[in-house]
Amino acid sequence: MEAIILAGGFGTRLSHVVSDVPKPMAPVCGRPFLRFILDDLQKKGIETVVLAVGYKREVIQNFFGESYRGMKLLYSVEDTPLYTGGAIKKALTMCREKQVFIVNGDTYFDVDLRDMSKSDARLVVAVKKLQNFDRYGTVFISKGGYINGFREKQPCIEGYINGGIYYVDRSLLEEQVATMFSFEKEILEKVYREIPVAAYPSEGYFIDIGIPEDYYKARTVFKNLCKKNKAAFFDRDGTINVDVHYLHRPDELDFIDGMPQFIRKWNDWGYRVIVVTNQAGIARGYYTEEEMRNLHCYMNAQLKQYGAHIDAFYFCPHHPDFSGPCHCRKPESGMIERAIAEFDLDPEQCILFGDQPWDIESGQRCGVKGYLLPSPK
C-alpha cells in the first residue's frame, strides 16, 4: 500500500509556538509529530510514502532520508504552494498504485487502513464523531454510509467531521486540469454529488495539532507512545531461511524448519521482529535493491500463513571490494543502530539471533545480547 502525506504547509497558527520547523516537524515528546504518523502507517502495512513537502522541506528530508522503518520515502517538492489538491496531484506522479491513501501531516487519526481500503468507492473519507465542537465543519452521512453533504464550521452538539485521511482513486485528481487547487473544495465537496463517496467512521484516537491548544494537548497524550520498545533481531540467510547462494528470487525461499513458529513467539511476546542482513549481491550487481524489497514482501506474505510477521528489514547493499567501506555491513553496527533509533528500542531489552560470529559482534557493539544458532541439518 502507498500513502501521500501532505507536509508542505506553513503552519501559520502555530508559528508563535513552533517557528523554526515545518508544522509536521513540531516536537512532541522529543520527536517530530510526523514521526508518530509514519510509525502508525508502518504498523498498518504502508510500504511506500510520498511526502509532499514545501516550506523548509530540507528539515524533513534531512531528518528522515530515503527510508524509515523499512518504508520507502519519496519527496514531492513544491517550489511554490500548490494547495492540497495540487500537492496531491503532483505527488501521485511518484505513486504506482491505482488507489492511494492521503494523510494530513498535522493530524493523527487511528484508522484501520486495510479495512478502509476494502470499499469499492473511488473516494473514501475517514470520519470521526465528535461532541460539542465548533472548530470543524460537519460531514453528513446517508443510511447507506455515503456522504451526502457538508456544512461549514459552526457550533455542533454532535456530528461527524472529516478526519483528514482519504483513500482515493488517482484518476479523480488526474482529471483535474488545474495544477493549483484545493482538494477539499474542488474534489471532495463537489464529486459526492456525481459519484458515491464513502464515509469510513472510526472510533480511533484523533488529534489535529493545527492550533496551539491541541499541540500542547498532543505533547501530553503522546507520552505513552514514547516508551522504549524491545526487539528480536534476526540475521536472514542461514538463520531464517536456508542459505541459498545470493538469494533474491522468491521461488528459492525455503524457511528453516520451525523458524516461522519461532518468529511468531516473539511477535506474541510483544517484541518487534527486525531482520538485519548483509546483501553484497547488490554491490556485485547480481540483483537490485528493488528485487530485494520484493523478496522481503514475499517472505512476510509467507510468514503470515503461520501467523507470524517481520516488522522491518534492514539490509546492507555494500561490499568493500565493490562499493568501498561502510558502517552498515556486519560486523559493523549501522543497521542495528538505525533500527534502535527508528523504533525507539532499549538495547538491554533486545535480543539477536544469527548463524555467524559477525552477527553476534554487530549486536554486541550496540549493547544487544546475541545468540549463535546452530547450522540447520
Q: Given this model, what pLDDT does residue 226 score? A: 67
Q: Given this model, what pLDDT does residue 10 score? A: 61
Burial classification of residue 302, based on how many CB atoms lie within 10 Å of its CB (0-12 exposed, 13-18 middle, 19 or more buried): middle
Q: Given this model, what pLDDT does residue 32 score? A: 87
Q: Where are the domains of the chain?
A: 2-226, 231-372
**What pLDDT digit, counting tens, does each position of 291-344 carry?**
999 999 999 999 999 999 999 999 999 999 988 889 999 999 999 998 988 888
The reply to whether 257 belongs to the active site is: no
**What pLDDT digit, counting tens, does each position of 113-150 carry?**
999 999 999 999 999 999 998 888 898 999 889 998 99
Tell me the pTM. Answer: 0.68
The residue annotated as part of the active site, out of 110, 169, 214, 237, is 237
Q: What is the CATH number of domain 2-226?
A: 3.90.550.10
Compute the distance between CA of residue 227 and CA of residue 217 in angstroms, rounded to an integer. 18
Q: Given this model, what pLDDT does residue 304 score? A: 93
The reply to whether 214 belongs to the active site is: no
Q: Given this model, what pLDDT does residue 26 score? A: 83
322 Ramachandran zone, left/alpha/beta (phi>0; psi -120 to 50): alpha
**What pLDDT digit, counting tens, does each position of 13-33 carry?**
555 566 667 888 888 877 888
Q: Given this model, what pLDDT does residue 374 score? A: 83
Q: Given this model, what pLDDT does residue 75 score? A: 95
117 close to 1: Cβ distance less than 8 angstroms: yes
135 close to 225: Cβ distance less than 8 angstroms: no
Task: Cite the beta strand spans of the chain per DSSP E.
Answer: 2-7, 27-28, 31-32, 48-53, 67-68, 71-77, 99-104, 107-109, 123-133, 138-141, 147-151, 156-169, 197-201, 206-208, 231-234, 272-278, 312-316, 351-354, 369-372
Q: Given this model, what pLDDT does residue 8 score? A: 82
Classify domain 231-372 at the CATH topology level.
Answer: Rossmann fold (3.40.50)
pLDDT < 70 regions, the chain:
10-20, 224-227, 376-377
The residue annotated as part of the active site, out of 235, 311, 355, 359, is 235
Q: Given this model, what pLDDT does residue 224 score? A: 65
Phi, psi of 16 (to 5 degrees): -80, -5
Asked if the domains at 2-226 and 231-372 fall in one CATH topology, the answer is no
Q: Given this model, what pLDDT does residue 178 score? A: 82
Interior angle at CA 326, CA 324 and CA 330, nearest 5: 120
The sign of the dihedral angle between the CA atoms of 293, 296, 302, 305 is negative
Q: Given this model, what pLDDT does residue 28 score? A: 82
71 close to 42: Cβ distance less than 8 angstroms: yes
